[in-house]
Structure 1
């Protein structure tokens, strides 16, 4: 049965909560209403009062394919997305080879069409020498252009001021930026090496990847965008200071927007003693005061989007000394549950959380007919049980790296079902590996 009727659900959509049934037909939401009756040829899912949300759109993931597939790949990480209620993702270009030209970009799309369990899109990466690729990019072929204004792999650090200015002037899509000042970071790291050698204590990471490095680079991105009227989206805000650089309020009409990640809402520098390099990431997790300020900024709309920056590495790699331990952590399987913890804590309304993880990325990137519970839209949905706690264990982790920073933590909700284009890819703790996602389309 390819069609489905979801009954007795509490829908959360576009600032409203209401009880209704939802019929899914031919991959779309056909009807939302009360007391819908079965047509006899469809699967019935009784939501039993659980929350029915539009599926999370994660606009910031690293799936490591091609070139680093010992850590992760599109198939494994998209399976983890399905289990976590993420129905669409936008993947970063810093693979090997990097997606800095049309051929590499389209190769990723071709691979995802074969193996991705959820919907997908891929960014074009900026370098110091691919300005023509950026200028001539079809804006419908990628969600945006990723600019690393901080350290990255290969030649993807854009540090030529003239090229950076030209990218901000000529980009045909939104620019998304990783903002950290590399010279400041390198200087801090040399000071730390002089004291500790290669085995720098993990709690030094937010001092090496300092708040000053973040603020300086974010200010530069905002100044360039203001100069050229660029549509700019600044990723993974990690400091209270940066929050103040963005305007509060609704997304509509903003040219400069910001995003944070679930781990910045959950962890603080106090957790380095327990988790060490497992929570080493760039930019770094900082203080509890930063965490509280970021959460407030998300609540008031200074920060518009909540995503993951999912970046898996093997546990053995994370166990290396500081200078060799890579930055990044696996997050997609538990990201939505982590976001909802802020709702249970009273720091975010449920409606605001849904806006930040789904509506806002759909609007910001002009995603066609997804990100909302609307009749006629693609049926990308997640059914959340707010009354069934879930304790994370290593044996359930679907990411290829095989571990989670949330191991042992009990979330106050669980993911009961995930629907991708009307198909239940995750239902009652089981994954349907026959489901395939679709390429995201951009209405530009």
Structure 2
């Protein structure tokens, strides 16, 4: 007796870790019930013909700032999740630098309660850490977070910086002891403070990159490598921007250190001359680097050095972006554009690469590897029987021009306005529900029934055999809070 499934996608090029196969998938409830070959489709309550387009696994954007709580004039979950769904993303992991920041493990449930009923996509959170909250890491449970974000430098919306090497040591030691993966904004604040003290801040965007140089990332990445070697801590460095950082981190991973790294679509799409031309629209931290760096990052994406692509979706309003150079905050919307920029860039740089291979590579860095690193393989990251029915129908050949009217982020603009993209998600399905349908001129969205996901602790290597591995440095001496807060405020990089 045949089973009548809830949803059947036929006529697809199904992207799996084993390659691309003609056929489709059938969904029962929220899970993938079967993957079938062409010509053998089961029956379903609803059947959609993909028309030979690709069926990608739902992407996992492990680096978003949806600004809840406290900064919802810039973004909120209703708009951020619409942008994600329109970009083929079905799961996001949100950053902790909100107001207040997420640094208390128990506050994760409170944040989830704020999001519930507003998100089209499923979600997790990265926990944060401040000088005063390091000991909180000891009671962090996987339900709350399996990862902790460390800012080694800061900016307008990231004031909680870990500068003291003793405190950083403690964080790495405790994270290793408790099986926590650290995700790091790895730029050295001391390097930037030295530059600030030695010269006037840039008056225009022609000097922006040189005022926020690659040396900050190189120094910080070197420190992270040393600490990973010392404690065996799992570390994932975010938004790597330079060829030197990429080369170092690839080498560290290849000798067996549990260190991985992310690249953003905007560091793959733009170069320093674009910052001079577009100004605050692509003002970022880390800054956009030169064409040589862009090329080396692409090489790392293609040779497997880059573990994940994350959007660093960090919107600011137009009014904030047109402030003076010293005051305009860094960041841009990106979750909707992540797949578009990655696919378009790959097609243009590697025109001889078969389309099937392009899609398998995208699925690897934007779905499969994020699921592996962030404890989601039991449900997410692949098109496989028993996993959540998360996928998008992707047309690889359509060519179109991005405009502000396409932008789903709350701020209503995109750094890619005027870009000609190749490829576009037509349909996004999250746990069996169509949450985005872009097949008509006016896109339609589903219901905001995204859920707070459970996750597993990362699978880590055995601790590094070292006298330091069990010796957690003591807390630093207490400092007067008023003086410390003033110093922190003065030294936050603009």
Q: TM-score, normalised by structure 2?
A: 0.85
In structure 2, the CA distance between the partners of 1:353 and 1:248, relative to structure 1 (3 Å rule), is farther
1:104 and 1:13 mapped to 2: Cα distance?
Answer: 37
1:340-361 deviation digits (Å, cap 9, x = unpaired): 1133124474122210111110
Query: Equivalent residue for 1:74?
Result: 77
In structure 2, the CA distance between the partners of 1:192 and 1:9, relative to structure 1 (3 Å rule), is farther
Q: Secondary structure at the match of 2:82?
A: helix
- Contact 1:202 / 1:272 at 8 angstroms: preserved in 2? yes
1:230 maps onto 2:237 in alignment: no
Match of 2:193 among 171, 181, 186: 186
Counterparts of residues 259-274 of structure 1 (less than 5 Å): 259-274=262-277
1:167 maps onto 2:171 in alignment: yes
Consecutive unaligned residues in structure 1, runs of 5 or more:
none
1:158 and 1:266 mapped to 2: Cα distance?
Answer: 30
1:327 and 1:209 mapped to 2: Cα distance?
Answer: 12
1:140 maps onto 2:181 in alignment: no
In structure 2, the CA distance between the partners of 1:252 and 1:212, relative to structure 1 (3 Å rule), is closer
Query: Equivalent residue for 1:388?
Result: 398
1:254 and 1:43 mapped to 2: Cα distance?
Answer: 48
1:26-74 deviation digits (Å, cap 9, x = unpaired): 011100012344535x221111111111111011111111111111111
Query: Equivalent residue for 1:114?
Result: 117
Q: TM-score, normalised by structure 1?
A: 0.94
Q: Secondary structure at the match of 2:98?
A: coil
Aligned length: 439
In structure 2, the CA distance between the partners of 1:254 and 1:52, relative to structure 1 (3 Å rule), is farther
**Largest Rg, 1 or 2:** 2
1:320 maps onto 2:333 in alignment: no
Counterparts of residues 282-297 of structure 1 (less than 5 Å): 282-297=285-300
Counterparts of residues 276-287 of structure 1 (less than 5 Å): 276-287=279-290
- Contact 2:117 / 2:450 at 8 angstroms: preserved in 1? no
Query: Equivalent residue for 2:207?
Result: 204
Query: Equivalent residue for 2:95?
Result: 92
Consecutive unaligned residues in structure 2, runs of 5 or more:
458-494
Match of 1:355 among 330, 353, 364: 364
- 1:415 shift after superposition: 1.0
- 1:387 shift after superposition: 1.8
Moved more, 110-119 or 425-434: 425-434
In structure 2, the CA distance between the partners of 1:190 and 1:280, relative to structure 1 (3 Å rule), is farther
- 1:329 shift after superposition: 0.5
- 1:188 shift after superposition: 2.5
1:253 and 1:225 mapped to 2: Cα distance?
Answer: 11
2:252 and 2:435 mapped to 1: Cα distance?
Answer: 35
1:326 and 1:101 mapped to 2: Cα distance?
Answer: 26
2:253 and 2:49 mapped to 1: Cα distance?
Answer: 34
In structure 2, the CA distance between the partners of 1:344 and 1:251, relative to structure 1 (3 Å rule), is farther
In structure 2, the CA distance between the partners of 1:420 and 1:45, relative to structure 1 (3 Å rule), is same
Q: Secondary structure at the match of 1:278?
A: helix
Moved more, 406-415 or 429-438: 429-438
- Contact 1:55 / 1:87 at 8 angstroms: preserved in 2? yes
Moved more, 213-222 or 249-258: 249-258
1:309 and 1:143 mapped to 2: Cα distance?
Answer: 19
Q: Secondary structure at the match of 2:324?
A: coil
Match of 1:6 among 9, 13, 18: 9
- Contact 2:390 / 2:430 at 8 angstroms: preserved in 1? yes
CA RMSD of superposed structures (Å):
2.1
1:271-305 deviation digits (Å, cap 9, x = unpaired): 12321110001001110100000110111112111
Match of 1:402 among 412, 416, 421: 412
1:172-220 deviation digits (Å, cap 9, x = unpaired): 31111001111221332455526x6xxx211322111110011001111
- 1:266 shift after superposition: 0.4
Q: Secondary structure at the match of 2:266?
A: helix
- 1:390 shift after superposition: 2.4
